[in-house]
Amino acid sequence: MPTSRIARRALLATATAAALLTGGLATLQAHAAETPQILATPTVPPSSYPGPGVVTGDIGVHDPTIVKTPAGTYLVAHTGDNIALKTSTDRTAFRNAGTVFPNGASWTTAYTGGSRNLWAPDLSYRNGQYYLYYSASTFGSNKSAIFLATSSTGASGSWTNQGLVIESSSGNDYNAIDPNLVVDASGAWWLSFGSFWSGIKTVKLNPSTGKRADSTVRSLAGRGGGAIEAPVVFKHGNYYYLWVSFDLCCRGASSTYRIMVGRSTSSTGPFVDRNGTALTSGGGTQVLASHGSIHGPGHQAVFADTDAEVLVYHYYTNSGASQLGINLIGYDSAGWPFVY
């Protein structure tokens, strides 16, 4: 065991004893909450899929994305009219916080058939502001577009439309929805996206604008036209993990969504699953699927918090309602993620 870890555990033991002597259990619990970095990431998966962690309040979501603010609170955006927002102070209790565009987003209606419903946002906080990539489309069509908005506060009505990032049409073999921004170890910006058609793609962005840096479209994953969408590229250790959703959402308790993963030493692939199968050839290692009263978990987001890496997703209840799911992420001895 490294000396630093021994020292940290000794300090924790001293603090524990002091807490019990002077403040009792409440003080001990408060101290433990302030030192999540001492908890080790689990390496042994549970014997079955865990239920979602406890969340309360306004938890009706679809296609959630989440960012931790500089103040330590949480901001969620999700599919809805003009893009819905929620906030939380503790990652447990959530409340509605209005919409990104309370006055509408007229620039998107050419892709939505006039609907105000905007899909699958992706939130991040970089360079002192919030970036929001989001989709405009209609079901079954690849006449689609991804737009960018920015805000200094993240609050409803504070967002500035930065315009079109990429679009697709019947002449393309890809679908420009479900964006996700990753900044790789070299500082390069990449936007992954895609649903059905020829699969998951990525384009390089200019960090100064958040828009495309070139015209190249690279392939990350695909199922020969089958159901794959909602990419998230997230770096852990020496690997970039590509998280995707297989199969079908949006069917209530009959949804078959499931969360899959592959990994690569590069943010642009090639990604392979646990068996070595390329994700561009239909590969993927399953991380979470339907179980018990949890139906069709998917359209995931991944972020690093102070206590653990966190998987955020939606799932359907027995009644067909779409709700927020949150679990923590561990990694087994071979470096493959699981949820607990």
Q: Residue 339 CA to chain centroid, in angstroms?
A: 14
Distance CA 86, CA 280 (A): 35
**CB contact at 8 A, 310 and 304:** yes
**d(Cα 120, Cα 78) in Å, to the nearest integer?**
6
Residue where the block lists tokens 């936007």: 191
Residue carrying the six token digits 């308790």: 253
Residue 287 contacts by C-beta under 8 Å, 6 or more apart in sequence?
243, 259, 260, 261, 311, 337, 338, 339
Helix residue ranges, H only, 179-320: none
Ranges assigned E (strand) in 179-257: 180-183, 189-193, 200-205, 218-221, 228-236, 239-246
Q: Answer yes or no: 167 catalytic.
A: no
Per-state percent for the chain, helix, strand, coil, to nearest 5: 15, 45, 45
Angle (deg, nearest 10), helices 3-22 and 24-33:
150
Of the residues 122, 229, 247, 309, which is catalytic? Answer: 229
Catalytic residues: 63, 229
